[in-house]
Amino acid sequence: MHALFADSFAALGRLDNITLVMVFHPQYLESFLKTQHYLLQMDGPLPLHYRHYIGIMAAARHQCSYLVNLHVNDFLHVGGDPKWLNGLENAPQKLQNLGELNKVLAHRPWLITKEHIEGLLKAEEHSWSLAELVHAVVLLTHYHSLASFTFGCGISPEIHCDGGHTFRPPSVSNYCICDITNGNHSVDEMHVNSAENVSVSDSFFEVEALMEKMRQLQECRDEEEASQEEMASRFEIEKRESMFVFSSDDEEVTPARDISRHFEDTSYGYKDFSRHGMHVPTFRVQDYCWEDHGYSLVNRLYPDVGQLIDEKFHIAYNLTYNTMAMHKDVDTSMLRRAIWNYIHCMFGIRYDDYDYGEINQLLDRSFKVYIKTVVCTPEKVTKRMYDSFWRQFKHSEKVHVNLLLIEARMQAELLYALRAITRYMT
């Protein structure tokens, strides 16, 4: 763990709060830092200040002041033009062109078409090269999902940043970072008890029930065989249902002071995959998956990054300690797969070989609300949401869930973007 911190510190010159939270899962953190380091500092088609600026653009889409501030500093540090920070319209035309992709990618990635790609690649002197575009897309998706993580775990600003040493909730959540890092649950539990008035035994049953369900599913899976139509409809149902899963408290979060100028068209937000007017065909993973297609494309255009991201996905997907709350030796693969596929389902990505009925069994409503909010509209996450799902679970497990969320989201966005690029190329 210390070695990781040291590496991180050496690479970034700081130890940010994201790192401090992620270190719950050192194996993942190592891969994460390696990837981020490579994306931001190592060889790549884009100049350094562009990379940070794209990071700012992406984070600003989710009004994540924390990430924006971090990267504003980095941007200036690598010699970026401070004028650009006054808004996207002050940045070069080339970056402005990227704004549209950023917007669609962040909120409705299924709408990306090869025309978007063509528009970027064929813009006379402001055009992007394919390699640059892939770099930019990877950066965008990385920071979209990192913004999800920031809100999902309630990362507070760095101590030297604005709002860092105040108790004013800068983004959403207001619990101190130390609670998490020290594993100091008592404070949190007290919160829960007072705020929600839920008895401990009640939440205890939650875990039991979940485990029981998993056991049942494991056993009966082969006994009752759902018909094909049923399987197909289950996906549709899950998709449609995900639409109604939304936090009731839709209070407007006012964008932080200087965030709003980094993005335009604030009204453009997540719209449910199944709700919006035109019918977008379901994305079949069996036709375009990361392992076979996405990886090859990324690695071809931006060498080594495919490998790094692939590793990261792998670690995130397979990470398990075989524990669930107070239970040990539990196979959580089913639960993890349900979470992963649920997120992809929200983006309209379907696995032929998955029974979407499992999701309904395993993920309860409050958890779904949390997932959906973190993935689609991270800026609306509240501490109450964080607290109200999986009450008996440890913080480390909730962070684990967040890792799954952000990686699944990143993969979903990447799949759409890369598919569009592939279509453009053929």
State the Cα–Cα distance between residues 71 and 98, nearest whole angstrom: 18
64 is catalytic: yes
Least gap, CB of 298 to another protein (angstroms): 10
Least gap, CB of 43 to another protein (angstroms): 5
Q: For residues 310 and 387, which CB has a smaller minimum distance to another protein in the complex?
A: 310
Alpha helix locations (H) across 245-331? 295-301, 305-318
Least gap, CB of 29 to another protein (angstroms): 15
Look-up of token digits 């504003």: 72
Q: Which of 64, 153, 345, 376 is catalytic?
A: 64
State the Cα–Cα distance between residues 79 and 68, nearest whole angstrom: 16
Burial pattern 352-363, b for ≥16 Cβ within 10 A else e, equals: eebbbbbbeebb
Least gap, CB of 254 to another protein (angstroms): 39
Q: For residues 265 and 292, which CB has a smaller minimum distance to another protein in the complex?
A: 292
* Long-range contacts of the stretch 353-360 (C-beta < 8 A, 24+): 353/286, 355/221, 355/226, 355/231, 355/234, 356/231, 356/234, 356/235, 356/237, 356/238, 357/226, 357/234, 358/217, 358/334, 359/238, 360/238, 360/241
State the Cα–Cα distance between residues 26 and 153, nearest whole angstrom: 16
Q: For residues 249 and 353, which CB has a smaller minimum distance to another protein in the complex?
A: 353
DSSP, collapsed to helix, strand or coil, labels residue 327 as strand
DSSP-derived secondary structure for 76-142: HHTT--GGGGG-GGGS-HHHHHHHHHHHHHHH-GGG--HHHHHHHH-SGGGPPPHHHHHHHHHHHHH
DSSP, collapsed to helix, strand or coil, labels residue 349 as strand
Least gap, CB of 2 to another protein (angstroms): 10
Q: For residues 68 and 418, which CB has a smaller minimum distance to another protein in the complex?
A: 418
State the Cα–Cα distance between residues 68 and 61, nearest whole angstrom: 10
Using CB under 8 A, list all residues that contact another protein.
3, 6-7, 10-11, 42-43, 45, 47, 218, 221-222, 225, 228-229, 231-232, 284, 286-287, 291-293, 295-297, 300, 307, 310, 318, 322, 331, 333-334, 352-353, 422, 425-426
Q: If DSSP states are collapsed to H, E and C, what string results for 175-219? A: CCHHHHHCCCHHHHHHHHHHHHCCCHHHHHHHHHHHHHHHHHHHH
Query: Residue 248: which residues within 8 A CB-CB, separation 6 or more?
Result: none
Q: For residues 37 and 107, which CB has a smaller minimum distance to another protein in the complex?
A: 37
State the Cα–Cα distance between residues 417 and 342, nearest whole angstrom: 20
Least gap, CB of 177 to another protein (angstroms): 25
Q: For residues 184 and 307, which CB has a smaller minimum distance to another protein in the complex?
A: 307
Token pair of 29 as six digits? 């953190």
Please give the single-letter amino acid code of residue 347. F
Q: For residues 272 and 358, which CB has a smaller minimum distance to another protein in the complex?
A: 358
DSSP, collapsed to helix, strand or coil, labels residue 288 as coil
Q: For residues 143 and 295, which CB has a smaller minimum distance to another protein in the complex?
A: 295
Least gap, CB of 303 to another protein (angstroms): 11
Tell me which residues are annotated as active site: 64
